A and B are shown apart, each in its own frame.
Chain A
Amino acid sequence: GENVEQHPSTLSVQEGDSAVIKCTYSDSASNYFPWYKQELGKRPQLIIDIRSNVGEKKDQRIAVTLNKTAKHFSLHITETQPEDSAVYFCAARDSGGGADGLTFGKGTHLIIQP
């Protein structure tokens, strides 16, 4: 099955700086890569996603890049703000055998220092 590795586990940046979180996946058949944000005690919520036919996608301060050859994808947050503090999870959808469930990375605790 799919295996998703996520780094770093904790990331502390100064407010206004950029943050980058990286993930690798193992299954070359995976074709959908969402990123979820989870605040303390809350549910995961989708912030951006990318499909395998696209190399980059941007939504205001958030961007995601995908390198299918290397099997890695990254989340970029620019001009970080205090409300960006949360745990971020990457995920991959293993399309092999018709599977539709997401395999998640272990998460990155992003801390925005004022």
Chain B
Amino acid sequence: DAGVIQSPRHEVTEMGQEVTLRCKPISGHDYLFWYRQTMMRGLELLIYFNNNVPIDDSGMPEDRFSAKMPNASFSTLKIQPSEPRDSAVYFCASSRGGDNEQFFGPGTRLTVL
């Protein structure tokens, strides 16, 4: 199993641009989570899906952030427009069941200039 796959691994963009982060969960996992990691705030849950349905998006910082999961093997996190304070590492994680180990992807390091 290839594990959770994320792309791109690094993204550098300018303020105001749209950014799309992508995630492929482990096959057979029915939960998908998006986390953001910064030095100041640590690891924060942004949103999670169960069977492709968004369950809790209370961690999404503002309307500039949106996430979708059109099918069981793909999810996107979009920031439009991006701002310098969005610079962080964004992790996607998946699990089989909501109460089991979450496997993290390698992360996307986002830099907004």
Tell me how far the C-beta of A45 lies from the nearest C-beta in chain B, rounded to whole angstroms: 7
How many Å lie between the Cα of A45 and that of B56 in the bound state? 23
* B12, CB-defined interface residue at 8 Å: no
* B101, CB-defined interface residue at 8 Å: yes
Q: How many A-B residue pairs have CB under 8 A?
A: 50
Mark contacts of B81-113 with chain A using CB atoms, 8 A cut-off: 1 yes-contact digit, 0 otherwise.
000000000010000001101111111000000
Closest to A93 in B: B99
How many Å lie between the Cα of A98 and that of B56 in the bound state? 9
How many Å lie between the Cα of A59 and that of B106 in the bound state? 25
Chief secondary structure at chain B's binding surface: strand
Known: A89-B43, A107-B42. A98 touches B102 (CB 8 A): no
**A100 cross-chain contacts in B, Cβ below 8 A:** 31, 48, 50, 55-56, 98-99
Residues on B facing A (Cβ under 8 Å): 31, 33, 42-45, 48, 50, 55-56, 58-59, 91, 98-99, 101-107
Residues on A facing B (Cβ under 8 Å): 1, 31-32, 34, 36, 42-46, 49, 89, 93, 98-107
